[in-house]
């Protein structure tokens, strides 16, 4: 308890100092051996780097309504706000700084392959039962990275729904699979950006409404043809094709969306 109190005091002091002094005052994360990724420093507004991007992947689902957390490696206001929401959701001191307590919670949530605790790659790679991350517009690695971000957003959505399980019925689809199931030619499923979800504990409308708060710029659900049995969520705003940015699109008329 004394150690945590000391760390909180150090962070509080750092916040009162000019930005140049923060780096030398904020306590570094405690040593941790993690099978996926280990942060070596505390992170806060003004910093940048690959470690910030790794953090952004994991808090993308805490972007807030109609917003997204860009994976740009820059710790700006959006990332800080997402960290505060993450901290509040898990009962961590809310200060917008990713320090030891925040990282410890992330370590608890992530598995050794970097997926969040309640989702696995196989769920997002149904491929009409074929598996594999090829056959779409992107490289296999790019598609897999998009699927990872999708899973972390789903983890945040799950938490906000009381940690009731979410079941993914469709994730990445290659072109052949997408055509076979009647998917749109520009479907976000082709990019690993999308998931169709259901729940045995929550209604489809509860899922669709709550998804608005978790970084999903695409939500299609009950009331839209072909979407009365599941809720489709995607990250279309983060998928700029041919230099043309996608816009937020939410439609679930039966749910008031």
Catalytic residues: 227
Q: Which residues of 127-137 are buried (b: 16+ CB within 10 A; e: fewer)?
A: beeeeebebbe
**Tally of helices (H runs) and strands (E runs) in the chain:** 9, 5
**CB under 8 Å to 105, separation ≥6 — which residues?**
86, 90, 92
CA geometry: angle at 239 spanning 208 and 128, to 5°?
A: 65
Cβ atoms < 10 Å from Cβ of 246: 18
Q: Which residues of 99-121 are buried (b: 16+ CB within 10 A; e: fewer)?
A: bbbbbebbbebbeeebbbebbeb
C-alpha span between 149 and 162 (Å, rounded): 21
Structure tokens at 76: 């700006």
């Amino acid at each position: 308890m004394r150690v945590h109190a000391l760390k909180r005091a150090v962070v509080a002091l750092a916040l009162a100092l000019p930005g140049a002094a923060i780096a030398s005052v904020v306590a570094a994360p405690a040593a941790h051996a993690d099978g996926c990724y280990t942060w070596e420093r505390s992170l806060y507004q003004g910093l940048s780097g690959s470690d910030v991007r790794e953090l952004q992947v994991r808090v993308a689902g805490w972007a807030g309504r109609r917003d997204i957390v860009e994976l740009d490696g820059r710790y700006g206001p959006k990332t800080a706000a997402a960290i505060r929401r993450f901290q509040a959701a898990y009962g961590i001191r809310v200060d917008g700084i990713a320090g030891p307590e925040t990282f410890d919670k992330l370590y608890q949530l992530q598995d050794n392959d970097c997926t969040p605790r309640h989702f696995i790659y196989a769920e997002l790679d149904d491929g009409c039962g074929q598996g594999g991350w090829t056959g779409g517009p992107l490289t296999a690695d790019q598609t897999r990275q998009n699927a990872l971000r999708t899973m972390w957003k789903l983890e945040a959505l799950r938490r906000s729904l009381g940690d009731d399980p979410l079941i993914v019925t469709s994730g990445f689809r290659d072109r052949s699979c997408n055509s076979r199931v009647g998917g749109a030619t520009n479907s976000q499923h082709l990019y690993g950006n999308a998931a169709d979800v259901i729940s045995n504990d929550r209604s489809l409308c509860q899922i669709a409404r709550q998804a608005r708060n978790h970084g999903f710029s695409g939500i299609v659900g009950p009331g839209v043809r072909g979407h009365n049995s599941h809720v489709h969520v995607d990250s279309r705003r983060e998928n700029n094709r041919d230099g043309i940015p996608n816009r937020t699109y939410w439609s679930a008329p039966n749910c008031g969306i």
